[in-house]
Structure 1
Amino acid sequence: MADRAYGLLAEFENPEALVAAAREARERGYRSLDAFTPFPVEGLAQTLRLPAPNIGLVGLIGAFSGAAVALLMQCYVNYDFPLNVGGRPVYALSAFAVVTFELTILFSALATIIGMLVQNRLPRLSHPVFAASRIHLASKDRFFLCVGGDDPKFDESGTRSFLRTTGALSVELVPS
């Protein structure tokens, strides 16, 4: 069996045509859809049914982890090397506040950055769509819809003719 193509890439002149084509592709039963645009297009993520990012939850987990690490680290140090200075208790939580705050912020920021990179699948230096001849226009003034070759409804000739009927300026096969 020959290698399947990554998909078909259709070029559109404006965001309205892209959203209309994506909506029509959804109605026709295509599920493996992706879009490439020079700026965010309102309503496109809902049409493509992209998963909602949960980066806030990742940051919150990082914050709690940082606070726990800071408190446990300081409690361990005070337990292992107790200093009784001026009648201060061994576990003075008010004295731990600064380090706990700093590690909470640090762990939260690092978790958020790492979570964002993982959820965006970055860094990805090579993508099959980069082989398309006109994809460089996606960062300038064109809008692209890609129907994935792994879609159960994908048929090269049928999908190509469907994309042409949606008003695509060009339709290009993207090798995998």
Structure 2
Amino acid sequence: MMREPSSSSGLFGLLAEFDRPERLVDGVRHAREAGFRQVDAYSPFPIEGLAEELGFRDQRVPWLTLIGGMFGAALGYGMQVYTNESFQIDIGGRPLIANPAFMLITFELMVLFAVLFSIGGMLALNHLPRLNHPLFGVEAFHLTSKDKFFLVILSNDRKFDREKTRSFLEGLDPVRVNAVGYSEEPV
């Protein structure tokens, strides 16, 4: 049996475990309808409609990818223009700025920087790499990579009250509800 975290360790949130993806989506929907905004869900695979129920509409990674691509293309093109202007070599009367010849490096650097910005931005926005997370202290949480589905309501939610939130989560008929503390001790 899991023990409640002590008040000195602090409470991260309450975690409800579900056995089917539909129940997780319903749980998230009911939590959002009840007024909880600091809600997160964990699943072993993508679930259709879950992101919408969570209110996930973050578009920062696509914008970072666009910015990275534009930066890479400008860098690739500018680097070639600078090199040809600074170190002029007359080869058969050809122009110094030859756009068709510059497109290969321009394209390659556009792709490189778009990928680097998108991966770097995704890692930074997800606060990764994160070697430890409060949920790792929950004994059953490792099942989220196999066949279980978890809903957590964070304690920093304005509507969060330990007992009322626990009652609400138990009303969703989960397999179990666990309290998750910030400490590295098992809770």
- Calculate the TM-score normalised by the size of structure 2: 0.87
The gaps in structure 1 that reach 5 residues or longer are none
For residue 156 of structure 2, the aligned residue among 150, 158, 165 is 150
Which residue does 1:97 correspond to in 2?
A: 103
Q: Structure 1 CA distance, aligned partners of 2:153 and 2:110? A: 42
Q: Structure 2 CA distance, aligned partners of 1:27 and 1:56? A: 29
For residue 160 of structure 1, the aligned residue among 162, 166, 181 is 166
**1:51 equivalent in alignment to 2:57:** yes
For residue 33 of structure 1, the aligned residue among 16, 20, 39 is 39
Q: Which digits, 9 at most, give the CA deviation of each residue in 1:76-119, with x for residues without a partner? A: 11221111111112222222222222212221222222122223
**1:106 equivalent in alignment to 2:109:** no
Letter in 2 for 1:91: I
Letter in 1 for 2:51: A
**1:170 equivalent in alignment to 2:176:** yes
Alpha-carbon deviation of 1:2?
Answer: 4.7
Counterpart secondary structure, 1:141: coil
Which residue does 1:20 correspond to in 2?
A: 26
Counterpart secondary structure, 1:134: helix
For residue 118 of structure 1, the aligned residue among 120, 124, 128 is 124
Number of paired residues? Answer: 176
Does structure 2 retain, via aligned residues, the 8 Å contact 1:53–1:119? Answer: no
Alpha-carbon deviation of 1:169?
Answer: 1.3
Alpha-carbon deviation of 1:130?
Answer: 0.8
In the TM superposition, structure 1's runs of 4+ consecutive aligned residues that sit over 4 Å from their partners are: none
The gaps in structure 2 that reach 5 residues or longer are 1-6, 183-187
Does structure 2 retain, via aligned residues, the 8 Å contact 1:14–1:142? Answer: yes
Alpha-carbon deviation of 1:148?
Answer: 0.2
Alpha-carbon deviation of 1:9?
Answer: 0.3
Which residue does 2:3 correspond to in 1?
A: none
Q: Which digits, 9 at most, give the CA deviation of each residue in 1:43-76, with x for residues without a partner? A: 1111111233443332222121111111211121
**1:42 equivalent in alignment to 2:52:** no
Percentage of pairs with the same residue: 47
Counterpart secondary structure, 2:153: strand
Alpha-carbon deviation of 1:4?
Answer: 3.4
**1:129 equivalent in alignment to 2:132:** no
Which residue does 1:65 correspond to in 2?
A: 71
Does structure 2 retain, via aligned residues, the 8 Å contact 1:62–1:104? Answer: yes
Q: Structure 1 CA distance, aligned partners of 2:30 and 2:76? A: 53
Which residue does 2:185 correspond to in 1?
A: none
- Calculate the TM-score normalised by the size of structure 1: 0.92
Q: Structure 1 CA distance, aligned partners of 2:102 and 2:44? A: 47
